[in-house]
Amino acid sequence: MKTLICTTPGQFAYGEKEKPVLTKGQAIIKINRIGICGTDLHAFEGTQPYFEYPRILGHELSGELVEADGAPGFEKGEAVTFIPYFNCGTCIACRSGKPNCCTSLKVCGVHVDGGMVEYLSVPSHTLVHGQGLSFDELALVEPLAIGAHGVRRAAVQPGEFVLVVGAGPIGLGIMEFSRIAGAQVIAMDINEHRLAFCKDKLQIAHTVNATSADVMEQLKQITNGDMPTVVIDATGSLKAIQNAFQYMAHGARYVLVGLQKGEISFSHPEFHKRESTLMSSRNATREDFEHVISSMKKGLVKPATYITHRVGFDAVKDNFESWLDPRNGVIKAMASF
């Protein structure tokens, strides 16, 4: 079967390997769609934490279930996606209902080889029913679930102002699920094209360019002087993460969905006097996947809006580097077999 391997930062190579054979507790999926995510782009750049080369990338996936062991209720030939965070099931996080941050977590396409292949073997317990959604929609469930999980971590309440820093695919998902939770959403980015996308495609009423000289004043005006009670970072940029501490209202919650390699620092007195809450949000759970699928089926989220670039699998290598360039207006690139 065909594969595409990221051999070193900046380098891809097509190859061939044996089709996986069914083993106990595993399922085999014939891959149909591969969404290109920030993790893939960072791996190609060489900036992704917890990463080793060579690696087959890809975890935003959908396809046809070929065969499975230990997957009651699933049928051969049905459209599926899966939860690409392979957990141990026994550690403190797994026992506490947080398999998304398992102590020995193996993320498909990051810690183990991923879905830029024709056929992929995954644990049967990670399978997710397609429920009539298209392959495009199913491939976008995972990145949207990342956003949904961040919103759930923040415990977003109806009517409160939520500032989402970063208008890439994950940030857009956070905006969508903050809106679904009833929040008033503020989009912040340095890319005017992406801010325009927020306004035009997602109907986000409030947008702020982070490079503006009067960012604080804009936020005060939007929030009637209060500042946002929830700030969620989806950039993974150290500068953006540290800047956003000053955007918090007193009593606010700050959730880091984006990830970067270094250390963050902030003023303890400023953070303390606000009685602020700082938390991380890692991956997603089945509950989040189900919330996303339900929202799609109700028409609350329209995933096709996100797909701006399409290629066949054979063209991924030649096009991949171009998706790193903001001038190309990429929101979500989708590859298909």
Per residue in 97-138, pLDDT (tens digit) is 999 999 999 999 999 999 999 999 999 999 999 999 999 999
283/102 Cα distance (integer angstroms) = 11
pLDDT at 151: 98
Q: What is the CATH number of domain 148-280?
A: 3.40.50.720
CB contact at 8 A, 6 and 41: no
Q: Are 124 and 27 spatial neighbours (Cβ–Cβ below 8 Å)?
A: yes
| pLDDT for the residue 164 | 98
Q: Where in the chain is the domain with CATH 3.40.50.720?
A: 148-280
For residue 28, which phi and psi values (nearest 5 degrees)?
A: -115, 125
Q: What is the DSSP string of 100-147?
A: GG-TT-EEBTTTB--SSBSEEEEEGGGEEE-TT--HHHHHTHHHHHHH
Report the CATH fold assignment for 2-139+302-336: Quinone Oxidoreductase; Chain A, domain 1 (3.90.180)
299 class by beta-carbon count within 10 Å (0-12 exposed, 13-18 middle, 19+ buried)? exposed
Is the CB of residue 33 less than 8 Å from the CB of residue 138? Answer: yes
Question: How do strand 277-280 and strand 11-16 relate by DSSP bridges?
Answer: unpaired
Q: Which residue has the tokens 């934490």?
A: 49
Q: Does residue 210 carry a pLDDT above 80?
A: yes
Average pLDDT, integer, range 82-95: 97
Other C-beta atoms within 10 Å of 203: how many?
10
Closest to 285 (Cα-Cα) out of 88, 171, 152: 152
Give the residues across from 234 on adjacent strands: none
| Token pair of 6 as six digits | 């990221």
Reported confidence tier of residue 261, pLDDT bands at 50, 70, 90:
confident
Residue spans in the chain of domains classed CATH 3.90.180.10: 2-139+302-336
- Average pLDDT over every residue of 32-51: 89
Please give the average per-residue pLDDT across 67-84, as a whole number.
Answer: 97
The residue among 104, 99, 100, 98 whose CA lies nearest residue 50 is: 104
Reply yes or no on whether the pLDDT at 42 is more than 90.
no
Global confidence as pTM: 0.95
Looking at the chain, the whole-number percentage of residues with pLDDT higher than 90 is 93
Residue tagged 């066949």 (tokens): 312
How buried is residue 17: exposed, middle or buried, by Cβ count under 10 Å (0-12/13-18/19+)?
Answer: middle
